[in-house]
Amino acid sequence: QVHLQESGPGLMKPSETLSLTCSVSGGSISSDYWSWIRQPPGKGLDWIGYVYYSGTTIYNPSLKSRVSMSLDTSKKQFSLKVTSVTAADTAVYYCARAHYDTLTGYSSFDQWSQGILVTVSS
């Protein structure tokens, strides 16, 4: 079973760049889509974007100008960067596998990390 573990800072100041890394174990990173999803305190889930093992990325337009993702197959890691953070970026950040069924075309987030709370405060 694939296991995901994210790492990164828990506290940041406004205008800094958030960097998170997700390590994948128990399976291959060279397939499927690898996503970042966040959840502000007491609110619902927001999809940030995904990176495919080939390096192809798709971002949520709401964050597109500030977000970048990358993937390192040799380290079995993928990462997220969010520039110019504000208090509105305070959230629990999850990394997740978006499993894509090549036969049907359907996808779902079937494996999730435990989540990391990132707080942006001066």
The residues binding other proteins (CB under 8 A) are 44-47, 49, 58, 60-62, 94, 96, 98, 101, 104, 106-110, 112-115
Q: What is the DSSP letter of 55?
A: S
Nearest distance from C-beta of residue 96 to other proteins, angstroms? 8
d(CA 48, CA 67): 8
Q: Which is nearer to other proteins, 16 or 27 (CB)?
A: 27
CB of 56 to other proteins, least distance (A): 12
Distance in Å, CB of 18 to other proteins, minimum: 19
Phi-psi region of 84 (alpha: psi -120 to 50; beta: other; left: phi over 0): left
DSSP string of 67-104, one letter each residue: EEEEEETTTTEEEEEE-S--GGG-EEEEEEEEEE-TTT
Residue whose CB is less far from other proteins, 44 or 121: 44
To other proteins, the closest distance from the beta carbon of 98 in angstroms equals 8
Residue 16 or residue 23: which is nearer to other proteins going by CB?
23
Of 107, 118, 114, 117, the residue nearest 3 (C-alpha): 114
Residue 16 vs 112, nearer CB to other proteins: 112
